[in-house]
Amino acid sequence: MISLKAREAHPAGGKVTARTVLITGGNRGIGYALAEEFVAQGHRVAVTARSGEGPAGCLTVTADVTDGASLDAAYALIEAQLGPVEVVVANAGITRDTLIMRMSDEDFDTVVDTNLGGAFKVVKRATKGMLKARFGRIILISSVVGLYGSAGQVNYSASKSALVGMARSLTRELGSRGITANVVAPGFIETDMTAALPEEQQAEYKRNIPANRFATPSEVAKVVAWLASDDAGYISGAVIPVDGGLGMGH
């Protein structure tokens, strides 16, 4: 089911270099669409999730991104089955929205530990192999609200803007070794995360988005897959918005 050929024909007709790709949070939403896209392009794909499964054609490994030991075990399994991770997409994320006056320390810590600490733990484990291979693609899934700000999301927005500093520092540390590190900042995407918002709020958000709609997860996946491709080898430390114009490129 998983192709191990070095180069695969892309369904669109071009050629892509098949890579070992790890996506966190690949059992639903954006992560699931990312896995589908990478599988369709002929890559060897592993997803982590705390529950459930990634799409057909990928290896699903149970792991919690806040738990270093479970990530160590996940990496050992992925490396044994698919080889060293060449592309890592830190996608797993959560929200615990409320106004700052009501936000508990735990609401803050849990979101930061998952969205920021989880990205750090996942990326760190990929870098050894990337340095050895002198190739790597690190892609951190942030959010438009990381730089735009959002009332009721002090924890989430802080965790997402911090990913920009992480990608830029990784770029400075690892850029000379063929490794790129970029941030993708989606706007509102049709997933469980946005479905949880009250309808009135969804309509209000759409009024403020120049594209006047939410995006599909696949629209994020295409951009991430391109950033992981050979064509994007000279892009690093960038924040790529996929937000229908909401953040105006920040």
Closest separation in Å from C-beta 34 to ligand NDP: 9
Residue 131 or 193 having the CB closest to ligand NDP: 193
- Interface with ligand NDP (CB under 6 A), residue from 18, 21, 22, 29: 29
> Of 32, 148, 156, 205, which one is the catalytic site residue?
156
Closest separation in Å from C-beta 156 to ligand NDP: 7
Considering only residues 63 through 92, tell me which ones interact with ligand NDP, judged by CB under 6 A: 64-66, 91-92
For 47, the 3-state DSSP assignment is strand
First to last CA, the chain: 41
CA 145, CA 183: separation in Å to the nearest integer? 13
Residue 186 or 244 having the CB closest to ligand NDP: 186
Closest separation in Å from C-beta 95 to ligand NDP: 7
CA 202, CA 212: separation in Å to the nearest integer? 11
Q: Are 95 and 153 in contact (CB under 8 A)?
A: yes
Closest separation in Å from C-beta 132 to ligand NDP: 26
**Residue listed under structure tokens 């500093």:** 165
Is position 105 an interface residue for ligand NDP (rule: CB under 6 A)?
no
Q: Which residues contact 221 (CB under 8 A, 6 or more apart)?
A: 30, 33, 34, 36, 37, 38
Active site residue 148: no
Is position 194 an interface residue for ligand NDP (rule: CB under 6 A)?
yes
Sketch the per residue contact string, 159 through 188, with ligand NDP: x for CB under 6 A, - otherwise: ---------------------------x-x
Token couple for 138:
């690190």
Q: Which residues contact 126 (CB under 8 A, 6 or more apart)?
A: 22, 75, 85, 88, 136, 138
Q: How many residues bind ligand NDP (CB under 6 A)?
A: 30
- Interface with ligand NDP (CB under 6 A), residue from 10, 50, 177, 222: 50
Is position 31 an interface residue for ligand NDP (rule: CB under 6 A)?
yes
C-alpha distances in angstroms, 220 versus 172, 182, 229, 232, 243?
25, 14, 15, 16, 9
DSSP class of 101: G
Token couple for 236:
């690093």
CA 67, CA 46: separation in Å to the nearest integer? 18
Residues identified as active-site: 156
Give the residues lining the site for ligand NDP (CB under 6 A): 24-25, 27-31, 48-52, 64-66, 91-94, 114, 118, 141, 143, 186, 188-189, 191-194
